[in-house]
């Protein structure tokens, strides 16, 4: 997965041709492609959104979306160091475990950087590798692991007719793989003959396709798992809300029932004794008619008027 990598490329093509090539990528990307300014463009390349920068004569920078502001701050041309020898390709990677995910062996996170050079050797090629590890002990351990893992990868087991025709039980995709430790660094050498290069490149191409398919499958599985987890989370939240609503309804009914059951003790006692203490207070000057009460009538008879005062009021 190179979607988060920043790649600086040295080329020997005219800037006009490079600009035209980038413009074609922009147009092919449709709504995901655009020119930010005269030298910075955005395009969708190799299943990811990229930023492409023409940084001076002979240099192109390819990086993830979001580096536009940093690219604008780059001033002046960038230059590559001159080759130290006859190498035709030179690659330098920091935190290589990020770039090598998906390989048949795990790249240790303790390795800080890896440098690889391809040098012609007769009709073949030699890959020279160097890596910085965290300690001599770690370098020795990881060098042995690389030697074993890569030799296993480049060796094809033969059986049956193929083994009889070739006169051997295995076929190697490369001539030799060697890894060793030198202090806290790992050094390696991979040699391939001219006859091995074509099938080797074909094998690498097929393996790259396999890695891409596996990466797509893993991405799809992760998306489905995330969708499933979100659905389960939403279902749990819905169930919790319904449970809380049901509990609130029960609590409200219980409170109403208790309110109905609650009473005024004095009123209840008066109702039980039938003395009317729980009824509304009577108007002053009136009292209940005993005869009406005896007959069960609810009408109240007025009492005799109060005696009128005689004579002048005393001071």
Q: At a CB cut-off of 8 Å and minimum separation 6, what does 13 contact?
A: none
Query: Among 55, 84, 77, which residue's Cα sits nearest to residue 68?
Result: 55
CA atoms within 13 A on the CB side of 39: 18
The reply to whether 155 and 23 lie within a common domain is: no
| In-domain check, residue 144 | yes
CA distance 71 to 50: 12
The reply to whether 47 and 107 lie within a common domain is: no
**pLDDT band with cut points at 50, 70 and 90 for residue 292:** very low
The reply to whether 91 and 195 lie within a common domain is: yes
Give tens-digit pLDDT for 100-112: 776 666 788 999 9
Edge-to-edge strand ranges of the sheet holding 176-182: 89-94, 113-121, 124-132, 185-192, 176-182
Residue 134 has pLDDT above 90, yes or no: yes
Q: Which pLDDT belongs to residue 34? A: 92
Whole-number percent of the chain with pLDDT over 70 = 65
The overall pTM is greater than 0.85: no
| In-domain check, residue 214 | yes
Give tens-digit pLDDT for 209-223: 776 677 778 778 888
The reply to whether 75 and 91 lie within a common domain is: no
| In-domain check, residue 71 | yes
CA distance 256 to 249: 11
| In-domain check, residue 279 | no
Q: Tell which of 61, 80, 99 closes a domain.
A: 80
CA distance 159 to 166: 10
Give tens-digit pLDDT for 113-128: 999 888 888 888 888 9
What range defines the domain where residue 226 resides?
86-237
Structure-block tokens of residue 226 = 């995330």
The overall average pLDDT reported for the chain is: 76
Q: At a CB cut-off of 8 Å and minimum separation 6, what does 72 contact?
A: 37, 40
The reply to whether 90 and 9 lie within a common domain is: no
Q: What are the CA-CA distances from residue 311 to residues 89, 304, 308 (Å)? A: 139, 21, 10
The reply to whether 148 and 199 lie within a common domain is: yes
Structure-block tokens of residue 36 = 């930010």
CA distance 87 to 71: 29
CB atoms within 10 A of CB 281: 7
Q: Tell which of 237, 265, 293 closes a domain.
A: 237
| Tokens 């940084």, residue located | 55
The reply to whether 15 and 34 lie within a common domain is: yes
* Strand, coil or helix: 13: coil
Query: Among 84, 92, 114, 81, which residue's Cα sits nearest to residue 188?
Result: 114
Q: Which pLDDT belongs to residue 273? A: 52
Q: Tell which of 27, 53, 80 closes a domain.
A: 80
| In-domain check, residue 261 | no
**pLDDT band with cut points at 50, 70 and 90 for residue 140:** very high
Query: In the chain, how many domains are there?
Result: 2
Structure-block tokens of residue 70 = 């940093």
**Residues 271/278, Cβ–Cβ less than 8 Å:** yes
The reply to whether 152 and 186 lie within a common domain is: yes
The reply to whether 116 and 40 lie within a common domain is: no
* Strand, coil or helix: 182: strand
Compute the average pLDDT of residues 41-45.
92
Give tens-digit pLDDT for 205-259: 666 677 667 777 877 888 899 899 999 999 999 988 888 888 776 666 665 555 5
Give tens-digit pLDDT for 49-100: 999 998 878 888 898 888 888 888 777 667 666 667 777 778 888 888 887 7
Residue 291 has pLDDT above 60, yes or no: no
CB atoms within 10 A of CB 98: 14
Higher pLDDT, 188 or 251: 188
Q: Which pLDDT belongs to residue 249? A: 67
| In-domain check, residue 107 | yes
The reply to whether 184 and 52 lie within a common domain is: no
The reply to whether 55 and 144 lie within a common domain is: no
| In-domain check, residue 192 | yes
| In-domain check, residue 18 | yes
Lowest mean pLDDT among 39-48, 147-156, 222-231, 258-267: 258-267
CB atoms within 10 A of CB 221: 10
The reply to whether 55 and 192 lie within a common domain is: no
**pLDDT band with cut points at 50, 70 and 90 for residue 267:** low
CA distance 106 to 115: 18
């Amino acid at each position: 997965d190179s979607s988060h990598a920043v790649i600086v490329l040295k080329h020997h093509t005219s800037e006009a041709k490079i600009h035209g090539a980038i413009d074609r990528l922009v147009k092919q990307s449709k709504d995901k492609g655009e020119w930010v300014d005269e030298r910075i463009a955005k395009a969708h390349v190799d299943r990811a959104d990229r930023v492409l920068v023409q940084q001076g004569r002979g240099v192109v920078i390819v990086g993830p979306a979001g580096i536009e502001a940093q690219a604008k701050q780059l001033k002046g041309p960038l230059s590559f160091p001159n080759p130290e020898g006859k190498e035709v390709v030179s690659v330098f990677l920091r935190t290589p475990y990020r770039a090598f995910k998906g390989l048949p062996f795990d790249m240790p996170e303790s390795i800080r950087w890896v440098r690889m050079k391809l040098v012609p050797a007769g009709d073949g090629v030699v890959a020279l590798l160097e890596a910085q590890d965290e300690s001599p002990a770690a370098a020795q351990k990881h060098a042995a692991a690389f030697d074993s893992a890569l030799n296993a990868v480049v060796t094809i087991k033969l059986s049956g007719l193929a083994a009889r025709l070739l006169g051997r039980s295995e076929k190697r995709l490369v001539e030799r793989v060697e890894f060793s430790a030198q202090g806290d660094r790992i050094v390696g050498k991979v040699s391939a003959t001219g006859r091995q290069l074509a099938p080797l490149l074909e094998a690498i191409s097929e393996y790259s396709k396999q890695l891409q398919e596996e990466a797509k499958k893993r991405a799809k599985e992760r998306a489905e798992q995330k969708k499933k987890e979100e659905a389960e989370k939403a279902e749990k939240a819905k169930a919790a809300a319904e449970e809380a609503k049901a509990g609130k309804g029960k609590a409200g009914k219980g409170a109403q029932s208790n309110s109905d059951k609650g009473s005024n003790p004095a009123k209840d006692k008066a109702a039980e004794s039938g003395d009317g203490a729980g009824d509304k207070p009577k108007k002053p000057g009136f009292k209940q008619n005993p005869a009406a009460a005896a007959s069960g009538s609810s009408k109240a008879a007025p009492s005799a008027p109060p005696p009128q005062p005689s004579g002048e009021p005393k001071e």
